[in-house]
Chains A and B, each alone.
Chain A
């Protein structure tokens, strides 16, 4: 067999294998949000503890909006302590963390907050309006809104402390 014929096989195979190997580095479920770089959709909400807020009031502050639910195990359970830690670490520096509880029962949600001793404001999205405005596909999803009121980053799935810290630092 001629030399060039012998080379055909590796020439054909190696790129495919490299491509598949590259596939491990990517996340097929990650779809870039068209909201990134756009002004964050305004919302107002009532918290479980009785307080209220709206995005307008928070203008000029970096805001972390986390969509979660009490039935979302294990992802929401994993990230809840990380969110609380970030809130504790950055509240002094003007960063706001808000939890939006979606498709949930109030009692379950309150038990969840109690369980993880969450002290940042959490409230339900009763009409599902915030969920729709932010194009939330599943829980958990987290939006990082910069001081300019534009969406800086969107995270799908459980957040860990490292990513949280890095993204908040970027916004400060």
Chain B
């Protein structure tokens, strides 16, 4: 029953998506509003059908209907409810379903919100979005159908992969990441619509900026939460391993970040039009590339889903996107001449251009490093693996220059900055940066890169804070408002600017967290008899006892450790090992005690059967919490930047009617 309904709704959604794409284009070309309206209806219908399919799948999972293959593989009687619900994205087929649902939802929102303002472009944007949906619906309806049934159904299912039912972060990391990936479809769809209609002015740029910030915000959260999940679950004390799939999520983030900056140059100076379109196309292609890497099995990764046959289809889809988009771009390039010029090397334009080149260089290095094993095998027939040393060697210096530019960019003047203004703006941040590196060196930071990282982080943070302070003080002087009111009004008047500055502050926190947790980490592995303790850093960790218990879906062996700091007991920590019947290896569950100053991270490596001794790995990672906090600040900044502003919304249609005068494109 569920199987039939599910298959039917996905197939029907596929048909409607194709129909909608077709009538949207026909309607726009033959100027038939009824057809365009029908295309819009298709977006709603697809959303309705996909929602229905998702609900069916959830019903099957929660109702433990093991006649559905997906449920038999990813659900089990003993799995707790939360992990049963989120098993929707625990494996290939379900994750594609979730992907389609997010895409359908965002398409609906985009068509609904932008539909009234962009009558010319919307049919084409609708068609592009529906085509993307159709591709994924095709996957879900045929090769990766989540509703395949099995007969006879097993009595109990295998349950989700234990790593995916070990931490609640699994409930939010994948949806955020998917929203970050899928979100770029909307800027892409509008960019394509602009290219097709030839409306290459500011219109599409204004439309997509909010959507691209939203996609960027989700992607940022998805990446940071992924790091957090890896840190809290995988039990190696790290959060980023330059794994192919992690890299694949970083790539669109880098090119998307580049776009968010150069789009300002286009708005302000009417330059870089081709560049911006190319960045959008690249970013969107990279989101598909990321999905491809996870699901094709061409590279080995902890994140890879089991191999499947959909890889070649993804590749064909990527080829289609790249060739058709860039072909359109080349065809329209004559209408994309820059109207402004670069006036001076010392200006915001050149700072942003520099930032773009570096971000793309960063992205290229990551791309090359990710695909290098494949390249080496293809060309020389030698299997190699490219690890942390390569990525760190290439990307750390680029990253440092980027942080420097992050401090400069928002404050330097457009067109040409005078020496006087530079002096006024950057004297204090530079002085404090030197002071910061002095302090860092005093607390024991050694080496050029770490010292530079702290100095530049201070520099960038001070520029942001100084900007907020100066703006608030000026406003307070003019309007007589209180400090907080002035600050909030300042931000509200220019959300995008101040939202962006908040994001920069978040980046600074992340940089400090990464640097400190990398250079000051401590670790020790010891075997302790009951009652014995180990010292590391400020802590003394005592092994108290070992207990075992049976839970519905697993058997748990848990160690209890008392943690003392200066002879005072500060915590009792319980790292454990979990034995799942479907797995040959036990899954370690780490216990982390986080404070703003440092994390204490305990891993139970092994134990004797009688519980008399346990081997424990103790790690100290300073300032890790700052990374997660920085991620939250970045997301907050993005939210501030896109928060709807009633005043602007009301005024915009008016402005646009003027911008749409014939002869201006």
Contact = CB atoms under 8 A, between A and B. Distances in A.
Contact of A21 (B315, B322, B330, B334): B315
Interface string A8-37: 011001001101111110101111100000
Contact of A103 (B297, B377, B584): B584
B338 to A, nearest CB: 13
Interface in A70-123: 71, 103
A23 B311 CA distance: 10
B326 A23 contact: no
Interface string B235-252: 000000000000000000
Contacts of B373: 28
Contact of A9 (B297, B311, B330, B334): B330
Contacts of A16: 371
Given A9-B326, A9-B330, A103-B584, A17 B298 contact: no
A10 B323 contact: yes
Contact of B584 (A9, A29, A30, A71): A71
B315 A19 contact: no
A28 B300 CA distance: 5
Nearest to B289: A20
Interface in B359-382: 371, 373-375, 377-378
B169 interface: no
A30 B297 CA distance: 12
A132 interface: no
Interface residues of B, number: 25
Contacts of A29: 300
Given A10-B323, A103-B584, A23 B298 contact: yes
Nearest to A139: B584
B315 to A, nearest CB: 6
B31 to A, nearest CB: 30
B584 A24 contact: no
Contacts of A69: 584
Interface residues of A, number: 23
Contacts of B584: 69, 71, 103
B323 A13 contact: yes
A108 B192 CA distance: 60
Interface string B297-316: 11110000000000110010
B333 interface: yes
A101 to B, nearest CB: 13
B296 interface: yes
A19 B371 CA distance: 8
B323 A23 contact: no
A13 B322 contact: yes
B296 A24 contact: yes
B383 interface: yes
A102 to B, nearest CB: 10
A19 B330 contact: no
B435 interface: no
A28 B319 contact: no
A23 B374 contact: yes
B298 A24 contact: yes
B318 interface: yes
B521 to A, nearest CB: 29
A22 B330 contact: no
A1 interface: yes
B375 A19 contact: yes
Interface in B51-77: none
Contacts of B312: 21, 24
A19 to B, nearest CB: 6
B322 A20 contact: no
A13 B330 CA distance: 14
A139 B130 CA distance: 44
Given A13-B322, A24-B311, A29-B300, A19 B334 contact: no
Interface in B256-313: 292, 296-300, 311-312
Given A19-B375, A24-B298, A28-B298, A1 B315 contact: no
Contacts of B323: 10, 13
A129 interface: no
Nearest to A72: B584
Contacts of B374: 19-20, 22-23, 26
Contacts of B330: 1, 5-6, 9
Nearest to A104: B584
B584 to A, nearest CB: 6
Contacts of B297: 28
B371 A17 contact: no
Contact of A19 (B292, B311, B333, B378): B378
Contacts of A10: 323, 326
B525 to A, nearest CB: 21
Given A9-B330, A10-B323, A23-B374, A17 B315 contact: yes
A157 B299 CA distance: 17
B183 to A, nearest CB: 24
Nearest to A102: B584
Given A28-B297, A28-B300, A32-B383, A17 B319 contact: yes
Closest 9 CB pairs of A and B: A23-B298, A28-B300, A9-B326, A1-B333, A22-B378, A6-B330, A13-B322, A23-B374, A28-B299
23 contacts: A1-B333, A9-B326, A10-B323, A10-B326, A13-B326, A16-B371, A17-B318, A19-B375, A19-B378, A20-B292, A20-B374, A22-B374, A22-B378, A23-B298, A23-B299, A24-B296, A24-B311, A24-B312, A26-B298, A28-B297, A28-B300, A69-B584, A71-B584
Given A1-B333, A13-B326, 19 more contacts: A5-B330, A9-B330, A10-B323, A10-B326, A17-B318, A17-B322, A19-B371, A20-B371, A20-B374, A22-B378, A23-B296, A23-B374, A24-B298, A24-B311, A24-B312, A26-B298, A28-B299, A30-B383, A31-B383
Interface of A: 1, 5-6, 9-10, 13, 16-17, 19-24, 26, 28-32, 69, 71, 103
